[in-house]
Structure 1
Amino acid sequence: MTEEAILQDRDYTVIIARSPGNDRPTSPEFKHAWEQARSRLLALCRQCAELDPDCLSLYNAAVPNSSVANPVSCASEAEIIALLDSYDPNQAIALEETVKLALDNYFTRKANGQTKVNGEIILVILDREPQNRVKLIKLLVEATQKMETQEELGITFIQVGDDALTRGFLKSLDDDLARAGARLDIADTQSMDELASGSLTDVLMGAIYD
């Protein structure tokens, strides 16, 4: 099967976890990193929307009081841009809860025969590590145990900025998920340098075949 065929007839979900950065002295660096990454991230979201023209799902993981908001179904480019550009120091990140919502949504639709033939790709755009590493790893491991094939579901975590703790966590997530009990390699990770230097198709294929 060609790359084009693998990426088509598939649902796409984008989760944006832009932290307020107000609890770190490097908060201006976070803001600058998102500004620098904006055009490439928007291009990636556009490609996902083209591959999933009927309904690209968009989640905001930065919400008031850590209460996860419902996804924007069939998100428009304007809604994607607004979320990439949004910055509210009063918001908190609920990354693990948001990933759980997206995974639950996929497996519920799968059980009801509502997923597309090739499955789904989830892109998680974040600038810092999750508050509860163990919870996120457990979610991914449990997801692999519900999968039937490697190709049906892939998740790529894309780091904005160069926070060292986040980079270290994502590297371990990419390399060591099997040691945590994952049955399949569901997670891929990308830095902004990698995203900028590679093709968007390669980024999406990496979600499936890391």
Structure 2
Amino acid sequence: MSNALLENRDYTLIVAKTAASIATMPPGYENRWAAAHSAIVALAQTCEELDPDGITVYISSRDHSEGAFKRYEQVTPAQVDEIFQDNYPPETLSLLDGLQLALDEYSIRKTAKLTKQNGAIIIVLIDGEPLDRMKIAKAIAHAANALDSNNELGIGFAHIGNDLIARGFLSALDDDLRSRFGAKFDIVHTKVFQEIDPTCLTDFLTDILQR
């Protein structure tokens, strides 16, 4: 697949980090987010190169004045560090909140004919078992059923950590979105974040569309 399909597309990054996952994981788990930080910045940089007007970032935050997730628009890679530092993760988190915001935003922009020619890619960085798993699957299937083509919208889950329940759920979204959840298109691709080659991030983005 040519990189041309990755261009002229909006990119959204959802950072679903929880403090509880750090507290309950084995020693060294907290360092995984720190170790992944440079790769996250590189991912943001790659997305910005493809989306020059800046990416959209949703990040989980303990500050509930703006909901479970804070939204930042037209983010550049240089701003990613500041966004991480400004938001301490909550102890519990409903991924559905952030994902639904991103899906609704795409739907609104599409109705208003404001989306880019090739559509959008949503990347979700998640470290543990998400709440409301069935609601998440239904929300994604609903979004898939509103699409005009298979490559219009892609959702990539990058799993940080080794939570087996989370990994099993994400694998189900990847493998069974059509057969189990009734989606018209398979729009989900999942990957263990540590297995993504930081020097070939466009390969990960391409895989989100190829599935």
Q: Which runs of 4+ in 1 moved over 6 A?
A: none
Aligned to 1:6: 5
In 2, Cα distance between equivalents of 1:90 and 1:11? 27
Contact 1:14 1:124 in 2 (8 A): yes
Report the AA paired with residue 158 of structure 1.
A
Structure 2, gaps ≥5 residues long: none
Aligned to 1:41: 40
**Cα–Cα, structure 1 residues 128 and 57, in superposed 2: closer, same or farther, change >3 Å?**
same
Report the AA paired with residue 141 of structure 1.
A
In 1, Cα distance between equivalents of 2:51 and 2:191? 22
1:158-177 counterparts in 2 under 5 A?
A: 158-177=158-177
Contact 1:157 1:187 in 2 (8 A): yes
**Cα–Cα, structure 1 residues 89 and 140, in superposed 2: closer, same or farther, change >3 Å?**
closer
In 2, Cα distance between equivalents of 1:31 and 1:85? 15
- Aligned: 1:201 with 2:202: yes
**Cα–Cα, structure 1 residues 49 and 28, in superposed 2: closer, same or farther, change >3 Å?**
farther
18-27 vs 3-12, which moves further? 18-27
Across the aligned residues of Structure 1 and Structure 2, the Cα RMSD in angstroms comes to: 2.2
In 2, Cα distance between equivalents of 1:23 and 1:35? 12
Contact 1:119 1:153 in 2 (8 A): yes
In 1, Cα distance between equivalents of 2:153 and 2:95? 19
Contact 2:61 2:70 in 1 (8 A): no
Report the AA paired with residue 206 of structure 2.
M
112-121 vs 37-46, which moves further? 37-46
Aligned to 1:151: 151
Contact 1:62 1:93 in 2 (8 A): no
TM-score, length-normalised on structure 2?
A: 0.90
In 1, Cα distance between equivalents of 2:27 and 2:88? 13
**Cα–Cα, structure 1 residues 75 and 197, in superposed 2: closer, same or farther, change >3 Å?**
closer
**Cα–Cα, structure 1 residues 172 and 54, in superposed 2: closer, same or farther, change >3 Å?**
same
Contact 1:63 1:93 in 2 (8 A): no
Contact 1:22 1:89 in 2 (8 A): no
What is the aligned-residue identity percentage?
Answer: 34
Aligned to 1:181: 182
Q: Secondary structure at the match of 1:118?
A: coil
1:56-205 counterparts in 2 under 5 A?
A: 56-65=55-64, 67-84=67-84, 88=88, 90=90, 92-178=92-178, 179-196=180-197, 199-205=200-206
The one-character-per-residue Cα deviations of 1:99-128 (angstroms, maximum 9, x if unpaired) are 000000001100001000000000000101
1:15-30 counterparts in 2 under 5 A?
A: 15-21=14-20, 24-26=23-25, 28-30=27-29
Report the AA paired with residue 186 of structure 2.
D
Contact 1:18 1:87 in 2 (8 A): no
**Cα–Cα, structure 1 residues 150 and 133, in superposed 2: closer, same or farther, change >3 Å?**
same
Contact 2:129 2:166 in 1 (8 A): yes
Contact 1:21 1:27 in 2 (8 A): no
Q: CA deviation at 1:57?
A: 0.4
Q: How many residues align?
A: 209
